[in-house]
Structure 1
């Protein structure tokens, strides 16, 4: 995993080497791995990191360094569930000014809005997409770069666990059903975390936190609400945002615009026009982020397929058409490659 991660990182755009990341998260991975018997000095050496930089509370690392260290801690700890342990150890205050803003928000819905607005301050390299219907909210995690699948599972299990713990702290009674979805297979030893977290679902078409039930709780006042503290925290977040590099904005906007309409998904030419770019510039900007239009289209299809399949009245053939597949067999093959199940099998399982 270490060699694979290093090779993949070498091929990524230069912005991942900018020192924009807090040292909080690397320290959390190191601590979790140490608790499992890994040697701290050896892990830092493997990742090519100086201990002083990591230990400095004000220290900044690059995404490349953070991802490399995460891969090293996973290998040296020998624990495929390390991400859950890392996320479980981080309270809201570990997320700096953004964490304080969430604590001071008036309602859970306002907190989610703040999380989306300032996610880039703490979640660079991963995007947060929030989709909500009447009784359904999905907080989706999407990588900004084409990382090795095992590293994505490690990072996403940590992020989703940390997010869920924050939600538990803020919201006294979570709506109906809460689930954590991950795209990789269930790791060895996950039974421990199945008992401590909400339902964990693996081999899913997308990753994130899924809430189903009465979402009116999202508009209830939070016990920790503090308007004065919120103003101060938001001001600090805005200051951080003004000083940070806004890279990845094109990728975020394309993902937000890739929605299936009556005529399917928008084409590359249509997206380029909406972004006021030539098609050639559009392709180049995506390539700089390590993606292509086709990859993002497949992401959108994975995302939307689950939502559409949850409606038992919607025929699978109609879903296939809406997602832009020429025939249902193509959709079935694609969906099975994402989840290991056919659309019909997944629908039956998710209804239980």
Structure 2
């Protein structure tokens, strides 16, 4: 979803850039914008033309557009309607509202404080929607609860708001905030597959309310942006997307978590990278930047798991090896001897 809500108008891209790249954004979101135009008695044809979306494409079931097209039409609609909420709320959000919200949270010491402020301030502008930051155990969630039925605007409202705050969170801490999942309070649309691109991670529909979920440790990261960076952001032509951040500042912790909780999915770098929605090359490079290596992390997690099972259970060595993430008993014994100088059986019996 475009982050044009917190930027000033920019020159339109040429046709090659506008239509270049994969068309993954559902046209259903554009149809909802058109409804907002109709509700205000404003003609949407100019905005559609700027984004090179034809009437036939608009009506075509299952159609999609590029991210740049989405950025262009979102920016045009926000300016022409003077509503950065795109008709999703009972009260329009005048141009500059989301920039004001972003700036008001900039002085926060951590991401957690910044998100709490953003959610609270958003409620002052749009009281028919409540955004809250919730933490349960190791999982943080940004939950969206609507106090009136948005009707056909439901999807646009939930997707745009959660994409907005997710992108801004990543910008604040200069880190890709990886999602653990997302949920929405409506039935799965025919373009449900697109949600894997919009949000990363598993998506659940027919939920009680809309929300995105992520590792709570991101909340303690410091806000790394300043006023100069904010001024530059407000003049950017490109959208503020999570994908623009190559580094995940919680990568080491997330690798440990996957190795400990899903050892069967982390036998090699390719499998682990797939779980983390990255490439093996990027995984190795970012771990090196943080002073770690995949092998050292695997050894650390496997050794901890293995010694715990050997001490606290009577499982056979073969089962301990499997639970610790080894593909066979022989490789486990060899690795354990390298760690301790003893075989698992001798170490357990000492």
Give the structure-2-normalised TM-score: 0.39
Give the number of the structure whose alpha-carbon radius of gyration is greater: 2
